[in-house]
Structure 1
Amino acid sequence: MATEQHSDARVPDWWRGLGLPGLIDLHVHFLPERMERRVWHHFRHGGPLMGNGWKIEYEWPVEERV
């Protein structure tokens, strides 16, 4: 079975060809409200595997994240 090689080498030519000044990879998670509250609580307060917690930059209401 042949394996397909993937490379990002052509990406800059692609976005330049679209006339864009650059490209970023950005994603935001959308979870059911109850699960989202628990996940954000975990990240804010931390735990034994992550230390004292992390600041959530996108802790906005769903309407603003969309």
Structure 2
Amino acid sequence: MTRKVADCRSTPSVMNCTLTISGEEEEVVKAAVDHAVSVHGHADTLELRSEVRAGLVDEKVPA
């Protein structure tokens, strides 16, 4: 299974957040949404979850 990555640096914010979360897709989505709510003040909505999921990228494995 390919691990997924959510990286706050890929989403512009006034905080210049540098958090990166990696793992299995569902755990990354949950952690990234929790972070977006608790740190960035977003509401936990289906739209936010969809945006987070759409922004995930495959983790690059060192060669």
**Short-chain TM bin:** under 0.3
TM value normalised by structure 2: 0.26
The structure, 1 or 2, with the larger RCO (C-alpha pairs under 8 Å, 6+ apart) is 2
TM value normalised by structure 1: 0.26
Query: Radius of gyration: which is bigger?
Result: 1
Instruction: Considering fraction of residues, name the structure with more helix.
Output: 2
Instruction: Considering fraction of residues, name the structure with more strand.
Output: 2
